[in-house]
Structure 1
Amino acid sequence: MLNAKIIFRILGFLLVVEGVSMLIAMGVSAIYDDAGLLPLLYSSLISMGVGALTLLATNGADKKIGKHEGFIIVSLVWVIFSFFGSLPYLISHSIPSLTDAFFETMSGFTTTGSSILNDIESLPNGILFWRSMTQWLGGMGIIVLSLAILPVFGIGGMQLFAAEVPGPTPDKISPRIQQTAKSLWIIYLGFTVTETILLWIGGMTLFDAVNHSFTTMATGGYSTKQASVAYWSSPFIQYVITLFMFLAGMNFTLSYLAIHGKFDKVFKNEEFKYYLLFVVGFTAIIFSGLLITTQMDFELAFRDSLFQVVSIITTTGYATADYLSWTPFLTIITFSLFFFGGSAGSTGGGIKIMRVVLLMKNSYYELRRLLHPNAVIPVRFNKRAVSEQIITNVLAFFMIYFIIFFISTILFTLIEPDLESAMGAVATSLGNIGPGLGNVGPAENFHHVHPAGKWFLSFLMLLGRLELFTVLVLFSPAFWKK
């Protein structure tokens, strides 16, 4: 039988966490003495109040969490966090529409980075900080955050971790899930602080440096400037952000190994090799194309190529150039990156490099099996044979991903008649990237999209962030059978 009480108890606890996070943003408003102070205070009190009442109402709940409860909690928490996270926008009238506020917040927590704002600089600093903070919290995962704290309540978290990190072969740094969560957060925080210092040294204000570090490490892409990172023409700033986008797109287990001096294991890791290969390869193609088709100087062409490739392949979504203004060939190459994603175990969204590599390998081995039908040719990854179950899971993921992409694109053309814009909006939402194509490209935003379209894209963001299965399983009748 479904343990409804523990579901509400955990959601109540996480609402309290969200309310406390709003108090941090309120502190920023207090420092800058801006109009976000009271809206953030009221939003925090409402969130913590509802959370506290829920905790009181579910006192004495059975602490056992099964798979069913895990899937429901992980799916619901993003929706509930987004509704309550919308309060600062609504109360401050920074975003007066519930649809727009929910879209902006869901885009934040899922680290998509798509925005409806046309004058970002006009928002109070406290509200901008909260906007960036939604991505920073969502980047490592609200549930992973809770794993470091829930054991205090005597609640195990392995089922939550499995639902939150549903990659093909999720790694654990430590055999204890609580220690794993803490290790991940220490690395995440350390990278954030390091990037903040470098950006501050490079010429950003401390406020801008903190905000961009939050959204870089989350591979979210929210900026405090309407022009995004293009606002700063400094090569140093853009290269620093490029480096940390790359690190955020890596498997955090590898970052843990590198920090502990085990570089040989990092460079021997097959997923890292392909991740690096894809970044270098696509950068070389676009860089060569820009040199041939534009009058850009060598360094700027390289920087723009590298920045856009890393930004999109890691699903961060920052922009320093409008790739839609490039030649059609380069635009198509850039769009193809929408279907890669970062490494498994990273803060990036998308399909993930590991799945792409496993699909390529399995396709190649299928050709070999046709030539040698009696041979046993297993797919290997990091010198280990990959089980048929994982291969089946990867193939199913690809099939479902692209079926959803095509059906959603067709449906979205009823809202956005321009096919290019519809494809871009669906691909960027499902991949948690940010900018799309056409009317939702890097030089535009989602302000003009019909309200029904914004709710639809918000659902796709959630679907993509939780890698399809976690959400789709809830729509299966078998899931709800006793």
Structure 2
Amino acid sequence: MNSSMIRIVLGNVLKIEGVLMLIPVVVALIYGESTVPAFLISAALAIVIGQLMVIKKPKDTVFYLKEGCVSTALSWIFMSIFGALPFTISGEIPNYVNALFETVSGFTTTGASILLEVESLSKSILFWRSFTHWIGGMGVLVFLLAILPMTGGSNINLMKAESPGPQVGKLVPRIGRTARILYGIYIGLTVIEIIILLFAGMSFFDSICTSMGTAGTGGFGIKNTSIGGYSPLIQWIVTIFMILFGVNFNAYYYLLFKHFRQALNVEEVKVYIGIIVASTLAICINIAHMFSNLEQALRASSFAVATVITTTGYSTVDFDTWPAFSKFILVILMFVGACAGSTGGGIKVSRFIISFKTIIKEFHSYIHPKSVKAIRIEGKTVEHETLRSVNVYFMTFICVFTVSCLLISLENQDLVTTFTSVAATINNIGPGLANVGPTCNFASFSVLSKFVFIFDMLAGRLELFPMLMLFNPTIWKSTFTSRINPRRRNWEDCDKVRK
């Protein structure tokens, strides 16, 4: 285990976070708020500690996937620990566990909250809540690769550990340029949404915070009514952009560079849009009697479908009051999630496509035992390694979900609350049903349950394995061994090369 490179990654992440914390300071100065010291102290701590961690340069700059997973998991944990400081130091969320829950929910773009109401918070704190969504949406390590490319071919291991989806590819030969292209698309779409919301009548501050929450598919609202208090036009705009940010960013790359045929052939995007249309129509028909006209029913159903499948978590109405049929569709969409390579959470549409095609292949083999049928997506054969990883991911997801539900059941809440609270956190959605519905929050849960939710939010955002890797004793044993016996580590590296 190359612990020196892990230290370097963590140090750079903390320094980046410290610099980003200075942006809310500007917001606080504009509105004349007293939160400036809280952000300055937090930023100073992050920058100083980060700088101390990177002073000693590592001799070996190459690390493998396991180091990438550990670096990613620890980066998000450290980032959350320091990111919670402004909430606590400012006194706006005095309980540090609650502040940590809110911060992890922000960075993982979950949107689950412990706050009973948000309109009493200062503008700078509201901005920081929304900004954590935007930072976490594309990933802080992708940002690190975009501005500070690493040498030695280790870049792809960081991107694999942080990026959502069953497989990660490079848009261009260099990972650093791929990261810059992704962030360019991300920033461009965010700016476009801000401008459109301004023209739709939303204030400048509200449009920035709402756009950051939409871009990161996070869902922290700055109003107690979330998006419900805004005009129907604004609700439609947010609906459209939630869907756009749930699309695989590879499709935007193809459109940007005029590869229109490839953009139109992204199978995952087609299925994703198909699921949204079908779910919206089914729910709209089911809830039409609850609204005065068809437009309201269509707007409410499309917004709910978009906010759940993209795991954004905004709300316009309390869908917990809808018929069981509509609520069941939304629960299914919680697990489906958005596209791989987007800012959305969930299991991802691509995994369901692969699993569905695997089932069809098995049926075909029963009918034609001697035939050999490959699974293809967008004309390319899906490798066995990808199929294996998808199957392992589903089993791991079920195990983590089950254990989490068992732990949360100690709260003695009703079954719907227990089930959907875990589903809402591990899939990075935010609201669930019953006591964690759109009009409720997670404040009533115990400290133990909040830490379970914190783990689930981080595990869900990082595709489970980077977080689970931290519980593997051999990881820490190899780290300790390499520190006290460098020669042994060199022999292990040689053995890897021979293999």
TM-score (structure 1 length as normaliser): 0.96
Does the CA-based 8 Å contact 1:266-1:272 persist in structure 2? no
1:115 deviates by 0.6
CA–CA distance in structure 2, aligned partners of residues 253 and 267 of structure 1: 11
Q: Deviations over 1:434-457 (max 9, x none)?
A: 101110111101111111111110
1:432 deviates by 0.4
1:227 deviates by 1.1
Q: 2:120 is matched with which residue?
A: 122
Runs of 4+ in structure 1 deviating by more than 6 angstroms, as ranges, are: 152-155
Does the CA-based 8 Å contact 2:80-2:104 persist in structure 1? yes
The answer to whether the aligner puts 1:188 opposite 2:217 as a matched pair is: no
The answer to whether the aligner puts 1:379 opposite 2:375 as a matched pair is: yes
CA–CA distance in structure 1, aligned partners of residues 46 and 370 of structure 2: 62
The answer to whether the aligner puts 1:315 opposite 2:326 as a matched pair is: no
CA–CA distance in structure 1, aligned partners of residues 408 and 280 of structure 2: 31
CA–CA distance in structure 2, aligned partners of residues 204 and 358 of structure 1: 41
The answer to whether the aligner puts 1:9 opposite 2:8 as a matched pair is: yes
Q: 2:408 is matched with which residue?
A: 412
Q: 2:459 is matched with which residue?
A: 463
Q: 1:260 is matched with which residue?
A: 257
Equivalent positions of 1:310-349 (< 5 A) are: 310-349=306-345
1:301 to 292, 297, 301: 297
CA–CA distance in structure 1, aligned partners of residues 8 and 400 of structure 2: 33
Does the CA-based 8 Å contact 2:115-2:441 persist in structure 1? yes
- Are the structure 2 counterparts of residues 84 and 297 from structure 1 closer, same or farther at C-alpha, using a change threshold of 3 Å? same
1:61 deviates by 4.8
What is the root-mean-square deviation in Å for CA atoms of aligned residues? Answer: 1.6
Compare 399-408 and 132-141 and name the one that shifted more.
399-408
Does the CA-based 8 Å contact 1:245-1:311 persist in structure 2? yes
- Are the structure 2 counterparts of residues 278 and 46 from structure 1 closer, same or farther at C-alpha, using a change threshold of 3 Å? same
- Are the structure 2 counterparts of residues 74 and 407 from structure 1 closer, same or farther at C-alpha, using a change threshold of 3 Å? same
Q: Deviations over 1:99-132 (max 9, x none)?
A: 1000000001111110111121111111111111
Does the CA-based 8 Å contact 1:349-1:465 persist in structure 2? yes
Paired residue type of 1:113: G
Q: 2:497 is matched with which residue?
A: none
Paired residue type of 2:285: S
Does the CA-based 8 Å contact 1:129-1:211 persist in structure 2? yes
CA–CA distance in structure 2, aligned partners of residues 295 and 106 of structure 1: 36
- Are the structure 2 counterparts of residues 184 and 155 from structure 1 closer, same or farther at C-alpha, using a change threshold of 3 Å? same
Q: 1:65 is matched with which residue?
A: 63
1:152 deviates by 7.1
CA–CA distance in structure 2, aligned partners of residues 478 and 431 of structure 1: 28
- Are the structure 2 counterparts of residues 282 and 219 from structure 1 closer, same or farther at C-alpha, using a change threshold of 3 Å? same
Q: How many residues were matched structurally?
A: 478
Paired residue type of 1:409: C
Paired residue type of 1:150: L
Paired residue type of 1:268: N
1:150 deviates by 2.4
TM-score (structure 2 length as normaliser): 0.93
CA–CA distance in structure 1, aligned partners of residues 390 and 9 of structure 2: 31
Q: 2:134 is matched with which residue?
A: 136
The answer to whether the aligner puts 1:32 opposite 2:23 as a matched pair is: no
Does the CA-based 8 Å contact 1:148-1:178 persist in structure 2? yes
Q: Which runs of 5+ in 1 are unaligned?
A: none
Paired residue type of 1:106: V
Q: 1:390 is matched with which residue?
A: 386
Compare 342-351 and 150-159 and name the one that shifted more.
150-159
2:221 to 211, 220, 223: 223
CA–CA distance in structure 2, aligned partners of residues 77 and 174 of structure 1: 26
1:345 deviates by 0.5
1:60 deviates by 4.8
CA–CA distance in structure 1, aligned partners of residues 278 and 325 of structure 2: 15
1:389 deviates by 2.1
Q: 1:75 is matched with which residue?
A: 73
Paired residue type of 1:52: Q
Q: Deviations over 1:212-268 (max 9, x none)?
A: 111101011111112111121x12211111111111101111112122333332222
Q: 2:241 is matched with which residue?
A: 244
Q: Secondary structure at the match of 1:414?
A: helix
Paired residue type of 1:431: N
Does the CA-based 8 Å contact 1:339-1:350 persist in structure 2? yes
1:166 deviates by 5.4
Equivalent positions of 1:415-454 (< 5 A) are: 415-454=411-450
Does the CA-based 8 Å contact 1:86-1:98 persist in structure 2? yes
Paired residue type of 2:242: M
